[in-house]
């Protein structure tokens, strides 16, 4: 497991998401990458029943990179608590439907082609919520390194070179406080949560 | 080399024209000695004279040819020193004449050997590999040195533990899965893990892998960058190899390996970038002396 950075790629006006994905695919193939299948990250959020006091949200994530795991993040409003469980966790959530109700209309996912280039793994995801296109998320993983602090400069150089000078590449908010810690898959999920929450707040496409 | 081949060609053609001249002269004398022949017919005298004139003309032409080619030949700067081979020309026995070509061939051969060995000498003197005891001097010292392959485990432990203590971010653990020879695992921060097999106090094998990978001596890392680092570590192991001062060799190698602590964070000193534009690898080479990071492609 290496360090992953998730970056939003702005879709230019009067261009479609497929156009951007094709553009980025062309660029990444020109660098010498090879396509290694598809990927999918999805998120479903459940709201706690009002009887249970203050409203809490549980976000359930699946990531095709860790197919046997279910990631859940409990958002209490003040802090996030995460649990990583195996696939049965989905069934448990169904049992809890009395206490946690699913907000079906906010089910959001990012999916698209997955590439490998040397020690990098690049995923070009189109984000859709309820079948409507919301934007592009580019995920870049550098696999040999485990601490974000050491590898951030290198990743920024790669992202900047690959996405072009028009994109501002900044360290993900989630990573800033834990730059010296060892990176784990849940850190990727937190980054997706950040971006998905931003997408949900905006109607239409996200430009920046 | 080119000049001499041209000279040989010219010389060859000069010799050829000399031979042609000789044969035409001998033809003249042959015709003269034969005198009038039956095929000259009745007024044979005139015909004979005409034939003789033609032959003499031929001789003239051939002579002019010879003169031309000889003029084209460069004048030798010094007399040829043929050594004892000069006596060969005085040899009259037919079967010994063949010696000359053999002699020329063997001369060419030794000349080539001389040339190649001088090239080899200049090359080898540039890369002194320090692999042998040749320069180590006295026999007394020699006797002591040979024991470096067979050092008491305690001594090896001491040397390695001393190195371990001098770095706070490099953890070295010793195990002995193969009888008395140590296998040393090095954890360098959260950056890499390396495993080094020792034979006595001499390093025999290095394998470098990522922080999260399982360690064993033979399987390569799944990451390109660590395969490159392993390659470079082998080069360093050979560079620092010194059977006369094995402790220094181990210590220098460890110092060198320790410089990989900034493998991902330090850009290349030459091009200033983290990733090389074609290989997309971080600077995986460390200079042996300055320990500065370079890309493999930038290190020259």
**Which sign does the torsion angle of CA A11, A12, A13, A14 carry?**
negative
What is the per-residue pLDDT for B287? 92
Report, in angstroms and rounded to the nearest whole number, the Rg of chain B calculated over CA atoms.
38
Euclidean distance between CA atoms B288 and B269, whole angstroms: 14
- Look at residue B180 in the predicted model and tell me its pLDDT: 82
- Are residues A35 and A115 both part of a single domain? yes
Residues A147 and A57 both lie in one domain = no
Interface test with A, best of B229, B280, B281, B293 (most A CBs within 10 A): B280
B95 secondary structure, DSSP code: G
In a domain, A190, yes or no: yes
Domain edge (last residue) among A75, A106, A137: A106
> What is the reported pLDDT for B143?
46
Does residue B187 sit in helix, strand or coil? strand
Please count the residue pairs, one from chain A and one from chain B, whose beta carbons lie less than 8 angstroms apart.
Answer: 58
The predicted pLDDT at position B137 comes to: 47
Chain A residue numbers with beta carbons less than 8 Å from the beta carbon of B224 are 118-119
Asked if the Cβ–Cβ distance from B282 to A154 is below 8 Å, we say: yes
- For residue A186, being part of any structural domain is answered with yes
- A152 and A174 belong to one structural domain: yes
The secondary element (H helix, E strand) that includes residue B214 is none
Q: Does one domain contain both A81 and A153?
A: no
Q: How many structural domains does chain A have? A: 2
Check residues B88 and B271 and name the one with the higher pLDDT: B271
B226 touches chain A (CB under 8 A): yes
Does B279 lie at the interface with A, CB-CB under 8 angstroms? yes
pLDDT of residue B107: 92
Task: Look at residues A78, A106, A134 and tell me which one is the last residue of a structural domain.
Answer: A106
Q: Do B274 and A150 touch (CB under 8 A)?
A: no
Q: What pLDDT shows up at residue B130?
A: 57
Give the list of residues 6+ apart from residue B112 with CB closer than 8 angstroms, or none. Answer: none
User: Are A187 and A116 part of one and the same domain?
Assistant: yes
Quick check: B265 and A120 CB within 8 A?
no
Cα separation of B59 and B206, whole Å? 81
> Of A54, A85, A106, which one is at a domain's C-terminal end?
A106
pLDDT attached to residue B200: 85
Domain match, A35 and A124 both: yes
Instruction: Compute the distance between CA of residue A196 and CA of residue A128 in angstroms, rounded to an integer.
Output: 10
Q: Are residues A78 and A176 in the same domain?
A: no
A126 & A95 share domain: no
In-domain check, residue A195: yes
Is A28 part of the contact surface with chain B (CB cutoff 8 Å)?
Answer: no
Which segment of A126-130, A140-144, B82-86 scores lowest on mean pLDDT?
B82-86
Asked whether the predicted pLDDT for residue A203 surpasses 90, the reply is: no
**Do A116 and A196 have their domain in common?**
yes
pLDDT for the residue numbered B141: 45
Q: Is A91 among the domain residues?
A: yes
DSSP H helices in chain B: 2-34, 44-72, 99-126, 139-145, 153-166, 224-240, 246-258
Mean pLDDT of A70-97: 90
Contact A151 B264 (CB under 8 A): yes
Identify the DSSP state of A87. Answer: T
Is the pLDDT at A101 greater than 50, yes or no? yes
For residue B85, give every residue at least 6 positions away whose Cβ sits within 8 Å of its Cβ, in sequence order, or none: B100, B103
| Alpha carbon distance A178, B188 (integer Å) | 20
Mutate to test the interface with A, among B194, B225, B261, B275 (most CBs of A within 10 A): B275
CB contact under 8 A, A157 and B224: no
Residues 148-207 of A with CB under 8 A from B: 149-151, 153-154, 157-158, 161, 182
A125 and A196 share one domain: yes
Can you tell me the distance from the alpha carbon of A35 to that of A114, in angstroms, rounded to the nearest whole number?
Answer: 6
Option in B190, B280, B282 nearest A146 (CB): B190
pTM of the model: 0.68
Distance, in Å, from the CA atom of A196 to the CA atom of A59, rounded to the nearest integer, reads: 11
Q: Average pLDDT of A23-35?
A: 92
* Residue A207 resides in a domain: no
B153: contact with A, CB 8 A cutoff? no
**Nearest CA among B52, B50, B54, B13 for reference residue B32:** B52
Least confident of A7-11, A39-43, B71-75, B279-283: B71-75
**pLDDT given for residue A207 in this prediction:** 59
Residue B142: per-residue pLDDT = 45
Residue A29 domain-assigned?
yes
Q: Determine, yes or no, domain membership for A151.
A: yes
Same domain, A89 and A45: yes
A81 and A124 in a single domain? The answer is no
Q: Distance (Å) from the C-alpha of residue B232 to the closest C-alpha of chain A? A: 17
Distance from CA of B119 to the nearest CA of A (A): 40
| Residue A204 predicted with pLDDT over 50 | yes
Query: What does the pLDDT average to over B101-109?
Result: 89
- Which residues have CB under 8 Å from B25's CB, separation 6+? B59
Is A114 inside a domain boundary?
Answer: yes
In this predicted model, what pLDDT tens digit does every residue of A154-167 receive, in sequence order? Answer: 999 999 988 888 78
| B2-11, B112-121, B147-156, B244-253: segment of lowest average pLDDT | B2-11
Give me the CATH number covering residue A177.
Answer: 3.30.310.180
Range of the domain at A121: 3-39+108-201
Provide the 10 A C-beta neighbour count for residue B20.
Answer: 17
Pick from B254, B257, B293, B247: nearest CA to B272: B293
Report pLDDT for B132: 56
């Amino acid at each position: 497991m290496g360090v992953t950075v998730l970056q939003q790629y702005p879709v230019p006006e009067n261009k479609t998401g497929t156009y951007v994905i094709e553009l980025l695919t062309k660029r990444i193939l020109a660098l010498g990458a090879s396509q290694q299948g598809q990927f999918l990250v999805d998120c479903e959020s459940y709201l706690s029943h009002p009887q249970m006091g203050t409203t809490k949200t549980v976000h359930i994530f699946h990531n095709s990179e860790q197919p046997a795991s279910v990631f859940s993040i409990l958002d209490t409003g003040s802090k996030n608590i995460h649990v990583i469980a195996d696939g049965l966790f989905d069934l448990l959530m169904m049992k809890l439907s009395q206490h946690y109700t699913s907000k079906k209309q906010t089910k959001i996912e990012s999916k698209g082609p997955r590439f490998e280039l040397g020690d990098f793994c690049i995923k070009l995801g189109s984000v859709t919520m309820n079948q409507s296109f919301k934007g592009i998320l580019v995920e870049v993983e550098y696999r040999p390194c485990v601490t974000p602090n050491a590898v951030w400069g290198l990743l920024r150089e790669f992202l900047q070179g690959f996405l072009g000078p028009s994109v501002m590449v900044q360290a993900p908010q989630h990573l800033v406080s834990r730059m010296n810690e060892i990176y784990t898959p849940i850190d990727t999920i937190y980054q997706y949560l950040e971006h998905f929450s931003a997408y949900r707040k905006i109607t239409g496409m996200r430009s920046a | 080399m080119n000049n001499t081949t041209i000279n040989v060609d010219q010389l060859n053609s000069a010799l050829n024209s000399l031979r042609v001249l000789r044969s035409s002269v001998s033809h003249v004398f042959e015709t003269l000695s034969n005198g009038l022949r039956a095929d000259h017919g009745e007024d044979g005298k005139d015909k004979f004279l005409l034939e003789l004139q033609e032959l003499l003309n031929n001789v003239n032409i051939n002579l002019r040819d010879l003169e031309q080619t000889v003029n084209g030949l460069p004048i030798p700067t010094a007399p040829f020193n043929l050594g004892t081979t000069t006596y060969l020309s005085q040899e009259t026995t037919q079967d010994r004449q063949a010696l000359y070509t053999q002699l020329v061939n063997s001369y060419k051969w030794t000349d080539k050997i001389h040339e190649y060995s001088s090239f080899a000498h200049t090359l080898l003197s540039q890369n002194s590999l320090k692999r042998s005891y040749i320069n180590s001097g006295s026999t007394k010292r020699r006797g002591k040195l040979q024991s470096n392959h067979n050092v008491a485990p305690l001594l090896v432990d001491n040397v390695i533990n001393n190195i371990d203590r001098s770095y706070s971010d490099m953890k070295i653990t010793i195990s002995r899965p193969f009888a008395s020879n140590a296998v040393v695992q090095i954890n360098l921060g959260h950056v890499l893990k390396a495993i080094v097999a020792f034979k006595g106090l001499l390093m025999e094998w290095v394998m470098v892998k990522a922080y999260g990978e399982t360690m064993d001596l033979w399987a390569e890392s799944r990451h390109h960058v660590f395969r490159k680092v392993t390659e470079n570590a082998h080069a360093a192991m050979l560079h620092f190899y010194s059977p006369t001062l094995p402790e220094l060799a181990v210590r220098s190698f460890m110092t060198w390996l320790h410089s990989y602590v900034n493998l991902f964070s330090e850009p290349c000193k030459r091009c200033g970038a983290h990733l090389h534009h074609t290989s997309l690898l971080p600077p995986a080479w460390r200079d042996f002396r300055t320990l500065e990071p370079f890309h493999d492609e930038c290190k020259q």
